[in-house]
């Protein structure tokens, strides 16, 4: 009896796996450490081991598994099952992950972008339930989006739709990790926040961050910035306001171009709360036509860290 699916989330810091039933319940989980920078063979080996330990710990036989859905960052062509690009896995360009992993596991495999998987998870079992046109946006280390249109995951012509993080919000803005200038992600994500904070420290600005992070600017992280801001540090507050403002501008692009009924916000930075989100909502409303204000329900993720695993697994049920 094939009644379960497996969802995998290959992240920059860990590989998370989950066993999922028809109702979207995670009946078992497994985790293994990061393989950032490793060649495909090593990561695939780790995924195979994680699936084995998931099945054995849950005492579930392989015969019950319909398939394995895999989410990972970057440009993924789901139709072909190919990882086109992935900044955590730079040697993976054009690797046929669906084929190689499918052979190793002896199970049908589906590969999709991690934000697409999380969007599908939230749409089917989380904060997007009942919506029709939904966008899921991560406000995290990076900034990604998954799009649901008419109740279906919208991937675009080559599987790369939803790249909101690299839309240009200021062509003369700061350098983004992608090499372009002024991408949304050069302002509104964890990487950008860290960079802005390091720039402030290097410029000798008087901020609590110096105390919280010591002399090592590599230790600057969004959590420290939030901590400093909560303690009233004006520099840290300004950084959060900048990131929040640009995230709101990104939301205004989404609202104007896609006019969704629901936007689900996920990702670790969302937990920072009002210091980041108030400037975000203000910028959203300032940057859309008044007739569009309040046309979209903006809600937080319900599945949070599990959204990717649940969505990746649940996409298996949608396979033709």
Residues that bind a second copy (CB under 8 A): 75, 84-85, 132-133, 145, 149-150, 154-164, 166-172, 178, 180, 245-246, 249, 252-254, 256-261, 286-289, 291-292, 295-296
Nearer to a second copy, 149 or 230 (CB): 149
- To a second copy, the closest distance from the beta carbon of 280 in angstroms equals 13
Closest alpha carbon to 79 in 314, 311, 315, 260:
315
- To a second copy, the closest distance from the beta carbon of 254 in angstroms equals 8
**Residue 27: DSSP 8-state:** E
**Residue 176: DSSP 8-state:** P
Nearer to a second copy, 151 or 234 (CB): 151
Measured CA to CA, the distance from residue 242 to residue 279 in angstroms comes to 8
Nearer to a second copy, 54 or 135 (CB): 135
Measured CA to CA, the distance from residue 7 to residue 148 in angstroms comes to 19
- To a second copy, the closest distance from the beta carbon of 235 in angstroms equals 21
- To a second copy, the closest distance from the beta carbon of 108 in angstroms equals 24
- Strands of the sheet containing 262-266, edge to edge, are 152-154, 145-149, 134-138, 262-266, 297-300
C-alpha dihedral, 249 to 144 to 303 to 158, nearest 10°: 130
- To a second copy, the closest distance from the beta carbon of 3 in angstroms equals 30
Q: Which residue has the tokens 């039933």?
A: 21
Nearer to a second copy, 95 or 155 (CB): 155
Residues 6+ apart with CB under 8 A from 49: 32
Nearer to a second copy, 103 or 132 (CB): 132
Measured CA to CA, the distance from residue 161 to residue 155 in angstroms comes to 5
- To a second copy, the closest distance from the beta carbon of 131 in angstroms equals 9
- To a second copy, the closest distance from the beta carbon of 86 in angstroms equals 11
Residues 6+ apart with CB under 8 A from 171: 181, 182
Nearer to a second copy, 84 or 107 (CB): 84
- Phi and psi based region of residue 93 (left: phi greater than 0; alpha: psi -120 to 50; beta: remaining): beta
**Rg for the chain, CA atoms, rounded:** 20
Nearer to a second copy, 208 or 239 (CB): 239
Query: Residue 295's CB: how many other CB atoms inside 10 A?
Result: 12
């Amino acid at each position: 009896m094939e009644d379960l699916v497996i969802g995998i989330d290959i992240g920059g810091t860990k590989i998370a796996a989950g066993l999922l039933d028809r109702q979207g319940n995670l009946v078992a989980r497994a985790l293994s450490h990061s393989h950032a920078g490793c060649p495909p063979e090593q990561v695939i080996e780790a995924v195979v081991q994680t699936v084995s330990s998931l099945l054995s710990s849950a005492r579930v036989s392989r015969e019950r598994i319909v398939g394995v859905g895999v989410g990972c960052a970057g440009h993924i062509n789901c139709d072909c099952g190919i990882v086109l690009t992935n900044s955590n896995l730079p040697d993976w360009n054009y690797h046929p992950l669906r084929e190689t992993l499918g052979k190793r596991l002896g199970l049908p495999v589906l590969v999709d972008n991690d934000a697409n998987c999380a969007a599908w998870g939230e749409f089917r079992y989380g904060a997007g339930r009942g919506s029709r046109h939904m966008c899921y946006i991560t406000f995290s280390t990076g900034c990604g989006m998954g799009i649901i249109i008419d109740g279906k995951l919208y991937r675009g012509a080559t599987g790369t739709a939803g790249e909101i993080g690299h839309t240009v919000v200021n062509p003369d803005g700061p350098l983004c990790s992608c090499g372009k200038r002024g991408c949304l992600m050069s302002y509104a994500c964890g990487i950008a926040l860290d960079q802005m904070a390091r720039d402030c420290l290097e410029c000798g600005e008087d901020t609590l961050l110096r105390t919280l992070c010591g002399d090592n600017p590599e230790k600057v992280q969004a959590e420290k910035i939030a901590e400093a801001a909560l303690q009233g540090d004006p520099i840290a507050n300004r950084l959060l306001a900048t990131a929040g403002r640009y995230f709101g501008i990104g939301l205004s692009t989404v609202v104007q171009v896609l006019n969704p009924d629901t936007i689900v916000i996920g990702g670790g930075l969302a937990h920072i709360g009002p210091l980041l989100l108030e400037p975000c909502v203000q910028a959203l409303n300032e940057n859309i036509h008044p007739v569009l204000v309040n046309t979209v329900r903006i809600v937080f993720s319900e599945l949070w860290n599990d959204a990717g695993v649940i969505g990746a697994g649940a996409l298996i049920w949608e396979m033709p």
